[in-house]
Amino acid sequence: MHKKSLHRCLLLSALLALGAASCILKRPASPATPAPPDNAADLAYLRQIQRDTWAYIDHFIAPETGYPHDNNRRTGKTNTTNLGLYLASLSMACRLGYVDEPYAIARIEKILDSLDRTGNWHRLYNNWLDPSGESFDALPGPNNISDYNKLPAGLIVVRQTFPQLAERCTAFLDEIPWDVFYDPETGRMHYEFDVVAQSVDHPVYFFRGEDKILGHFLAIASGKVPPDSWDRHDLSTEERHGMRYYRHGWQGGGLFMQFICGLFLDDRGTSLGQSATAFAWAQILHARQIGAPVWGWSACAGPDDAYHGWNDIRDEIVTPHASALAIHLFPREVIDNLRRLEDYGLREPYVENGRSFAFGFRDAVNWKTGAVNGPGTSQYLVLDQAMLFLSLVNYTENGLLWSTFNRDPLVQNGKALISEFSNLADSRPWPRPAPAAL
């Protein structure tokens, strides 16, 4: 056996043994900030994807409200997660020089003005909002903290990026009634709320590996929910290919569920960060087992124009944002995977009204048939584009979003109150193995 191949096989065996022994993949020592790509060509490649993806994110904006459309068809409502990720992306784009400050501030103020007009319960909003501005009324019915929590996260990034908007963002953030989600008798957290009835429902112990976790962190950081509630998370796991990671897991939405909160909250060195590492590595192993030339399984809009999310993650449908979320963990594997995804035509120009645009990757590919999202389908989702963009920003720009979010006093308070974060060293180790390419 070739020496290099032998080394990689030994590394793989060690990783598998480690995952089986400790449930969650541990982190070997290495620098606290993402290491640069292997060469200048890789960095240039990633930054071009980054720039193209931003072009998509900022193109499909509703002029009436300033809200990002959910998809390239400009149809239906948009989600509060989309708003939060857009605010964070816009802040990063300004820091990177993609847009100037007056442009960014005008965009943000338009969104804030629209939110001011929208019915809410102390700044809790319906998950789905009308980008057309035809109705600003709050609607009755359940909403989920998982969809809401990225909106306040985006506002935290805004107030750390634009001091002139800090007072307005702070007033918004201070009004959020995080305490209503906590059940003091059981220590559970409610995850549903009704804006019109001004009520909450479904008290549970949050799964550590789900997209509600950022909301729980912010609730504790606000001082309105006790810190020990964090220690009551459901830590149940699932296992694939010898890797254990937190539920909801593979069919609970795929990779984005464990990575989306970590776009903002630097979770390297925590149990969630370790779980996300194991989850991503399990996907790389899964691709090998089924003979897939590409990997990355997460909720997405498929080439069949169906949304493949909860309990509908399919082996044959791969989405670029999924692997990109893990770029700070497995950069070589992710970069190589993105290049292979291009072979399916996922970065072909998008044509609108006779004009051609470079908007980054389309949302998904069926690698068995070669089908990609084409005309008449949701070729792009702003949720997935923004996750991909922000992941690349953290990697190529030395943790820019992490550091921006982290320096906010609210975030600092949350990290001081939650032992899993307060016990971390300033220079946290994180995994940088070099597993074999597919």
- For residues 158-183, give the mean pLDDT: 99
Cβ neighbour number for residue 33 with a 10 Å cutoff: 18
Residue 242, pLDDT > 80, answer yes
- CATH number of the CATH domain containing 409: 1.50.10.140
pLDDT for 27 equals: 31
Distance set, CA 110 to CA 68, 212, 251 (Å): 11, 27, 37
Mean per-residue pLDDT over the chain, rounded: 90
Examine the pLDDT at 10 and tell me if it is beyond 60: no
pLDDT at 115 (0 to 100): 99
Question: Which class for 97: exposed (0-12), middle (13-18), buried (19 or more C-beta within 10 A)?
Answer: exposed
Is 92 part of any domain?
yes
Residue 29 pLDDT grade (very low, low, confident, very high; cuts 50, 70, 90) = very low
11 belongs to a structural domain: no
DSSP 267: -
Where is average pLDDT lowest: 93-107, 211-225, 412-426?
412-426
Query: Does a structural domain hold residue 12?
Result: no
d(CA 292, CA 283) in angstroms, rounded, equals 11
Mean pLDDT of 378-385: 96
Inside any domain, residue 4: no
Verify cis geometry, omega within 30 degrees of 0, for the bond prior to 233.
Answer: no
Whether the predicted pLDDT of 321 surpasses 80: yes
| In a domain? residue 395 | yes
To 5 degrees, how large is the angle CA 128–CA 130–CA 132? 160
* Tokens (6 digits) for 148: 């809401």
Structural domain for 414, as ranges: 23-422
Whole-number Å distance between alpha carbons of 205 and 191: 10
Q: Which residue has the higher pLDDT, 309 or 17?
A: 309
Q: What would the pLDDT profile of 249-284 be if each residue is shown by its tens digit? A: 999 999 999 999 999 999 999 999 999 999 999 999
Predicted pLDDT of residue 25: 35
Q: How confident is the model at residue 437 (pLDDT cuts 50, 70, 90)?
A: very low
**pLDDT-derived band of residue 428, with 50, 70 and 90 as boundaries?**
very low
How much is the average pLDDT of 177-188?
A: 97
DSSP string covering 53-116, please?
HHHHHTTSB-TTT-PBPSBTT--S-EEHHHHHHHHHHHHHHHHTTSS-HHHHHHHHHHHHHHHH
pLDDT of residue 39: 86
What is d(CA 275, CA 249) in angstroms, rounded to the nearest whole number?
10
Residue 163 scores a pLDDT above 80? yes
Structural domain includes residue 16:
no
In this prediction, residue 187 carries a pLDDT of 95
- Model pLDDT, residue 234: 97
* Contact present, 154 and 85 (Cβ < 8 Å): yes
DSSP 3-state assignment of 188? Answer: strand
- Number of structural domains, the chain? 1
pLDDT at 376: 78
What is residue 423's predicted lDDT score, i.e. its pLDDT?
86
Q: Is residue 195 part of a domain?
A: yes
Is residue 17 one of the residues assigned to a domain? no
Q: Which two tokens stand for residue 349?
A: 């120009």
